[in-house]
Amino acid sequence: MTSNFRSLPVIALLTILSLPLVIMYAFTLVDSITDAEPGSLIPSEFTFHHWRFLWDDTTGRGSVWIATINTFIFAGSTAAIVCVTSLTSAYALSRLNFPARRFFLAGVIILHAFPTITLIIAIFLILQFLGLFDTLIGVIMVKAALELPFGIWVMKGFYDTVPWEIEMAGVQDGASRFMVWRKLVLPQVQPGLSALLIFSFLSGWSEFILPLVLAPGSDAQVLSTYLAYFLLDDSLEVDFNLFKSVGLFYALPVILIYLVFQKKLMNIYGGGSKG
Protein backbone atom coordinates (compact mmCIF):
# COMPACT_ATOMS: atom_id res chain seq x y z
CA MET A 1 0.00 0.00 0.00
CA THR A 2 0.97 3.57 -0.56
CA SER A 3 1.68 6.24 1.98
CA ASN A 4 -1.88 7.52 1.86
CA PHE A 5 -3.04 4.18 3.12
CA ARG A 6 -0.99 4.35 6.30
CA SER A 7 -3.39 3.25 8.90
CA LEU A 8 -2.04 3.77 12.40
CA PRO A 9 -3.32 7.32 13.06
CA VAL A 10 -6.70 6.40 11.61
CA ILE A 11 -6.94 3.35 13.82
CA ALA A 12 -6.04 5.41 16.87
CA LEU A 13 -8.68 8.01 16.11
CA LEU A 14 -11.38 5.45 15.37
CA THR A 15 -10.55 3.56 18.53
CA ILE A 16 -11.01 6.65 20.68
CA LEU A 17 -14.30 7.49 19.01
CA SER A 18 -15.56 3.94 19.30
CA LEU A 19 -14.66 3.73 22.95
CA PRO A 20 -18.09 4.69 24.35
CA LEU A 21 -19.81 2.01 22.30
CA VAL A 22 -17.21 -0.61 23.09
CA ILE A 23 -17.43 0.20 26.79
CA MET A 24 -21.20 -0.11 26.68
CA TYR A 25 -21.01 -3.48 24.92
CA ALA A 26 -18.28 -4.74 27.21
CA PHE A 27 -19.93 -3.73 30.44
CA THR A 28 -23.24 -5.22 29.39
CA LEU A 29 -21.47 -8.51 28.93
CA VAL A 30 -19.22 -8.35 31.99
CA ASP A 31 -21.79 -7.00 34.45
CA SER A 32 -24.33 -9.62 33.56
CA ILE A 33 -22.11 -12.36 34.97
CA THR A 34 -20.25 -10.53 37.73
CA ASP A 35 -20.86 -8.45 40.80
CA ALA A 36 -18.90 -5.38 41.77
CA GLU A 37 -18.50 -3.34 44.93
CA PRO A 38 -20.88 -0.36 44.97
CA GLY A 39 -19.32 2.61 43.20
CA SER A 40 -16.61 0.51 41.63
CA LEU A 41 -16.40 -0.46 37.99
CA ILE A 42 -14.13 -3.42 38.42
CA PRO A 43 -15.99 -6.68 39.02
CA SER A 44 -15.09 -8.50 42.18
CA GLU A 45 -16.88 -11.80 41.82
CA PHE A 46 -18.29 -14.10 39.22
CA THR A 47 -21.97 -15.01 39.45
CA PHE A 48 -24.93 -16.32 37.50
CA HIS A 49 -27.26 -14.63 39.92
CA HIS A 50 -28.35 -11.99 37.40
CA TRP A 51 -29.60 -14.67 35.05
CA ARG A 52 -32.06 -15.98 37.62
CA PHE A 53 -34.93 -14.47 35.63
CA LEU A 54 -34.57 -17.43 33.29
CA TRP A 55 -35.91 -19.88 35.84
CA ASP A 56 -37.43 -17.59 38.46
CA ASP A 57 -40.08 -14.92 38.05
CA THR A 58 -38.14 -12.28 39.97
CA THR A 59 -38.93 -9.32 37.79
CA GLY A 60 -42.63 -9.07 38.55
CA ARG A 61 -43.28 -9.13 34.83
CA GLY A 62 -44.28 -12.75 34.42
CA SER A 63 -42.21 -15.41 32.75
CA VAL A 64 -39.55 -14.30 30.35
CA TRP A 65 -40.17 -17.43 28.30
CA ILE A 66 -43.71 -16.46 27.40
CA ALA A 67 -42.44 -13.09 26.24
CA THR A 68 -39.70 -14.86 24.28
CA ILE A 69 -42.15 -17.18 22.57
CA ASN A 70 -44.42 -14.23 21.80
CA THR A 71 -41.51 -12.33 20.34
CA PHE A 72 -40.59 -15.28 18.14
CA ILE A 73 -44.17 -15.63 16.94
CA PHE A 74 -44.43 -11.89 16.37
CA ALA A 75 -41.16 -11.49 14.50
CA GLY A 76 -41.53 -14.78 12.60
CA SER A 77 -45.08 -14.15 11.40
CA THR A 78 -44.34 -10.57 10.45
CA ALA A 79 -41.35 -11.68 8.44
CA ALA A 80 -43.33 -14.46 6.76
CA ILE A 81 -46.21 -12.20 5.81
CA VAL A 82 -43.93 -9.47 4.54
CA CYS A 83 -41.88 -11.90 2.47
CA VAL A 84 -44.74 -13.81 0.89
CA THR A 85 -46.77 -10.75 -0.03
CA SER A 86 -43.85 -8.70 -1.26
CA LEU A 87 -42.63 -11.67 -3.26
CA THR A 88 -45.80 -11.67 -5.35
CA SER A 89 -46.59 -7.98 -5.48
CA ALA A 90 -43.04 -6.92 -6.25
CA TYR A 91 -43.04 -9.31 -9.17
CA ALA A 92 -46.27 -7.81 -10.42
CA LEU A 93 -44.86 -4.30 -10.14
CA SER A 94 -41.56 -5.26 -11.73
CA ARG A 95 -42.60 -7.51 -14.56
CA LEU A 96 -46.32 -7.61 -15.20
CA ASN A 97 -48.24 -5.05 -17.15
CA PHE A 98 -51.61 -4.01 -15.79
CA PRO A 99 -53.60 -0.79 -15.53
CA ALA A 100 -52.48 1.85 -13.04
CA ARG A 101 -49.11 0.19 -12.53
CA ARG A 102 -47.38 3.54 -12.33
CA PHE A 103 -49.84 4.67 -9.70
CA PHE A 104 -49.16 1.65 -7.54
CA LEU A 105 -45.44 2.16 -7.94
CA ALA A 106 -45.62 5.78 -6.86
CA GLY A 107 -47.82 4.74 -3.93
CA VAL A 108 -45.28 2.21 -2.77
CA ILE A 109 -42.52 4.79 -2.92
CA ILE A 110 -44.49 7.37 -0.95
CA LEU A 111 -45.57 4.88 1.68
CA HIS A 112 -42.04 3.53 1.88
CA ALA A 113 -40.88 6.77 3.47
CA PHE A 114 -44.05 7.54 5.37
CA PRO A 115 -44.24 8.69 9.01
CA THR A 116 -45.96 5.52 10.12
CA ILE A 117 -45.95 5.99 13.84
CA THR A 118 -48.14 9.08 13.68
CA LEU A 119 -50.99 6.83 12.62
CA ILE A 120 -51.16 4.88 15.82
CA ILE A 121 -54.44 6.34 17.08
CA ALA A 122 -56.25 5.49 13.89
CA ILE A 123 -54.66 2.06 13.84
CA PHE A 124 -55.98 1.45 17.32
CA LEU A 125 -59.50 2.25 16.16
CA ILE A 126 -59.29 -0.13 13.23
CA LEU A 127 -57.91 -2.95 15.37
CA GLN A 128 -60.68 -2.41 17.85
CA PHE A 129 -63.25 -2.45 15.07
CA LEU A 130 -61.86 -5.78 13.89
CA GLY A 131 -61.69 -7.10 17.43
CA LEU A 132 -57.94 -7.49 17.18
CA PHE A 133 -56.91 -5.00 19.84
CA ASP A 134 -54.63 -6.42 22.50
CA THR A 135 -53.96 -9.54 20.46
CA LEU A 136 -50.72 -10.68 18.96
CA ILE A 137 -52.40 -11.19 15.58
CA GLY A 138 -53.44 -7.54 15.47
CA VAL A 139 -49.94 -6.24 16.12
CA ILE A 140 -48.53 -8.70 13.60
CA MET A 141 -50.87 -7.47 10.88
CA VAL A 142 -50.08 -3.83 11.61
CA LYS A 143 -46.35 -4.38 11.73
CA ALA A 144 -46.49 -6.36 8.48
CA ALA A 145 -48.54 -3.65 6.78
CA LEU A 146 -46.10 -0.95 7.83
CA GLU A 147 -43.11 -3.01 6.65
CA LEU A 148 -44.66 -4.03 3.37
CA PRO A 149 -43.92 -1.00 1.20
CA PHE A 150 -40.26 -1.32 2.11
CA GLY A 151 -40.34 -5.06 1.43
CA ILE A 152 -42.01 -4.60 -1.92
CA TRP A 153 -39.50 -1.94 -2.83
CA VAL A 154 -36.52 -4.12 -1.99
CA MET A 155 -37.92 -7.18 -3.74
CA LYS A 156 -38.73 -5.14 -6.81
CA GLY A 157 -35.09 -4.12 -6.90
CA PHE A 158 -34.06 -7.77 -6.95
CA TYR A 159 -36.60 -8.72 -9.63
CA ASP A 160 -35.35 -5.86 -11.78
CA THR A 161 -31.94 -7.47 -11.95
CA VAL A 162 -33.25 -10.79 -13.26
CA PRO A 163 -32.46 -10.93 -17.01
CA TRP A 164 -35.52 -10.81 -19.22
CA GLU A 165 -34.06 -13.58 -21.36
CA ILE A 166 -34.81 -16.16 -18.72
CA GLU A 167 -38.51 -15.38 -18.74
CA MET A 168 -38.66 -14.99 -22.50
CA ALA A 169 -37.22 -18.45 -22.89
CA GLY A 170 -39.75 -19.88 -20.48
CA VAL A 171 -42.70 -18.23 -22.16
CA GLN A 172 -41.53 -19.38 -25.55
CA ASP A 173 -41.41 -22.95 -24.27
CA GLY A 174 -45.14 -22.58 -23.60
CA ALA A 175 -45.15 -22.13 -19.83
CA SER A 176 -47.65 -19.73 -18.23
CA ARG A 177 -46.41 -16.55 -16.62
CA PHE A 178 -47.18 -18.06 -13.24
CA MET A 179 -45.11 -21.15 -13.97
CA VAL A 180 -42.29 -19.02 -15.30
CA TRP A 181 -42.33 -17.01 -12.10
CA ARG A 182 -42.37 -20.06 -9.89
CA LYS A 183 -39.85 -22.22 -11.71
CA LEU A 184 -37.48 -19.75 -13.30
CA VAL A 185 -37.63 -16.36 -11.62
CA LEU A 186 -38.02 -17.31 -7.95
CA PRO A 187 -34.68 -19.14 -7.74
CA GLN A 188 -33.02 -16.02 -9.14
CA VAL A 189 -34.27 -13.74 -6.37
CA GLN A 190 -33.69 -16.25 -3.60
CA PRO A 191 -30.74 -14.28 -2.10
CA GLY A 192 -32.89 -11.16 -1.96
CA LEU A 193 -35.68 -13.07 -0.32
CA SER A 194 -33.52 -14.45 2.44
CA ALA A 195 -32.06 -11.00 3.07
CA LEU A 196 -35.56 -9.55 3.37
CA LEU A 197 -36.59 -12.40 5.64
CA ILE A 198 -33.72 -11.69 8.02
CA PHE A 199 -34.32 -7.97 7.89
CA SER A 200 -38.04 -8.21 8.65
CA PHE A 201 -37.39 -10.71 11.40
CA LEU A 202 -34.92 -8.37 13.08
CA SER A 203 -37.23 -5.43 12.63
CA GLY A 204 -40.09 -7.36 14.26
CA TRP A 205 -37.80 -8.58 17.01
CA SER A 206 -36.89 -4.99 17.89
CA GLU A 207 -40.32 -3.40 17.53
CA PHE A 208 -41.34 -1.55 20.64
CA ILE A 209 -44.02 1.13 20.20
CA LEU A 210 -46.59 -1.02 18.41
CA PRO A 211 -46.78 -3.77 21.06
CA LEU A 212 -46.58 -1.15 23.80
CA VAL A 213 -49.69 0.66 22.62
CA LEU A 214 -51.64 -1.95 20.71
CA ALA A 215 -51.15 -4.96 22.97
CA PRO A 216 -50.78 -3.68 26.52
CA GLY A 217 -52.11 -6.85 28.13
CA SER A 218 -49.79 -9.43 29.57
CA ASP A 219 -50.90 -12.15 27.16
CA ALA A 220 -49.28 -10.50 24.18
CA GLN A 221 -46.20 -9.17 25.91
CA VAL A 222 -43.00 -9.27 23.90
CA LEU A 223 -39.41 -8.91 25.03
CA SER A 224 -39.13 -5.23 24.13
CA THR A 225 -42.05 -4.26 26.38
CA TYR A 226 -40.82 -6.71 29.01
CA LEU A 227 -37.50 -4.90 29.09
CA ALA A 228 -38.90 -1.39 28.63
CA TYR A 229 -40.83 -1.79 31.85
CA PHE A 230 -37.54 -1.32 33.66
CA LEU A 231 -36.92 1.95 31.86
CA LEU A 232 -40.36 3.43 32.31
CA ASP A 233 -41.05 2.53 35.89
CA ASP A 234 -40.15 5.26 38.37
CA SER A 235 -40.57 3.33 41.56
CA LEU A 236 -38.69 0.19 40.69
CA GLU A 237 -35.74 -0.87 42.71
CA VAL A 238 -32.88 -0.59 40.32
CA ASP A 239 -30.90 -3.75 39.74
CA PHE A 240 -29.02 -2.78 36.63
CA ASN A 241 -27.12 -6.02 36.34
CA LEU A 242 -30.37 -7.95 36.15
CA PHE A 243 -31.56 -5.67 33.36
CA LYS A 244 -28.29 -6.10 31.55
CA SER A 245 -28.76 -9.84 31.61
CA VAL A 246 -32.32 -9.56 30.38
CA GLY A 247 -31.13 -7.18 27.69
CA LEU A 248 -28.34 -9.51 26.66
CA PHE A 249 -30.77 -12.41 26.53
CA TYR A 250 -33.01 -10.27 24.33
CA ALA A 251 -30.16 -9.32 22.01
CA LEU A 252 -28.69 -12.81 21.71
CA PRO A 253 -30.65 -13.86 18.60
CA VAL A 254 -29.84 -10.54 16.97
CA ILE A 255 -26.14 -11.00 17.53
CA LEU A 256 -26.25 -14.60 16.32
CA ILE A 257 -28.08 -13.58 13.17
CA TYR A 258 -25.56 -10.81 12.61
CA LEU A 259 -22.62 -13.17 12.92
CA VAL A 260 -24.09 -15.67 10.50
CA PHE A 261 -25.62 -13.36 7.90
CA GLN A 262 -23.30 -10.37 8.15
CA LYS A 263 -22.94 -9.82 4.41
CA LYS A 264 -26.59 -10.24 3.57
CA LEU A 265 -27.52 -7.75 6.25
CA MET A 266 -25.06 -5.08 5.11
CA ASN A 267 -26.51 -5.59 1.68
CA ILE A 268 -30.12 -4.94 2.59
CA TYR A 269 -29.45 -2.19 5.11
CA GLY A 270 -27.53 -0.49 2.36
CA GLY A 271 -30.77 -0.58 0.43
CA GLY A 272 -32.10 2.09 2.71
CA SER A 273 -34.09 1.25 5.77
CA LYS A 274 -35.83 3.51 8.17
CA GLY A 275 -33.15 5.68 9.60
Partner 1 sequence: MPRFNALGFGFLAPAMIVVTLFFLAPVILTVFFAFTNMSTSTGITGGEYLLTQSDLREVKASGVSEETYDKLENAGYVVDETGLALLAEARDQATADELADLHAGAQFSSRRDMERALKDLRANRIRSTRDRKALAELFTSSVMDERFQTEEEFRAALTAASIPEADQNILVKVAYTGWVWTTENMKLLFSLDSSWRYAMNTLFYVVFTLTFNVGFGLFLAISTFYLPSGIANTFRTIWFLPRILPPVLYVLMWYWLTWDTGIISSFMSWFGVAPRNWMLDTATNAWIVVILINGFVGASLGMILFSSAIRTIPASMLYASEVDGANRWQQIRYIILPQLRWPILFTSSYQTLSLLTSFEYILLATDGGPGGATEVWALAAYHTALNNYGGNLQYGLGAAYALVLVVIGIVTSALYLRFFNFKDLVAKPRIEQ
Partner 2 sequence: MTTFKFKRATAALLLSTIALPALAEDVTITVWAGGSNDADAYRIDAIEIAADMLEREAAIEGRELNITVEGKRDFGGWEEFKQGVTLAAEAGTAPNIVVTSHLDIAPWSQAGYIVPAEDYLDFDAWPLNDIYPNLLEIAAYNGIQWGLPQDAESRPFFFWKDTMRGIGYSDEDIAALPDKIASGEYTLQNVLEDAKKAVDAGLVEEGYGFYPRPSNGPDYAQFYQSFGGQLQDPETGKLVLDKAAMEAFYQFFADAVDAGITRKNHLGTDWGQWYSEVANGKAATWHGGTWHYARYTGKEGNEDFFGTIEFSLIPAGNENGRANTITHPLVYLVTDQENDDHEDIAAQLVKIASEPRLNSLHAIKSAHLGIGQQQSNIELYANDRWASEATERLLVSANAQPNNLDYGAFSEAMFKGLEAAWTGVKTPADAVAELESELNAKLGDNLIVR
| By the rule CB under 8 A, 4 interacts with partner 1 | yes
Residues that bind partner 2 (CB under 8 A): 60-62, 124, 127-128, 133-134, 212-213, 216-218, 228-229, 231-238
Which of 196, 202, 120 minimizes the C-alpha distance to 156?
196
Relative to beta strand 34-36, strand 43-46 is antiparallel
Site for partner 1 in 37-66 (CB under 8 A): 39-41
Nearer to partner 2, 83 or 220 (CB): 220
Nearer to partner 2, 1 or 232 (CB): 232
Q: How far is the CB of 219 from partner 1 (least distance, A)?
A: 20
Angle, CA 24 vertex, CA 20 and CA 27 arms, to 5°: 130
Task: Choose from partner 2, partner 1, none: what does 93 bind? Cβ within 5-8 Å by kind.
Answer: partner 1
226 near 246, Cβ under 8 Å? yes
Q: How far is the CB of 55 from partner 1 (least distance, A)?
A: 21
Task: Choose from partner 1, partner 2, none: what does 235 bind? Cβ within 5-8 Å by kind.
Answer: partner 2
Binding mask 225-254 for partner 1 (x = CB under 8 A): --xx-xx------x-x--xx--x--xx--x
User: Concatenated DSSP letters for 108-140?
Assistant: HHHHHT--GGGGHHHHHHHHHHHT-TTSHHHHH
199 near 274, Cβ under 8 Å? no
Angle, CA 116 vertex, CA 234 and CA 97 arms, to 5°: 155
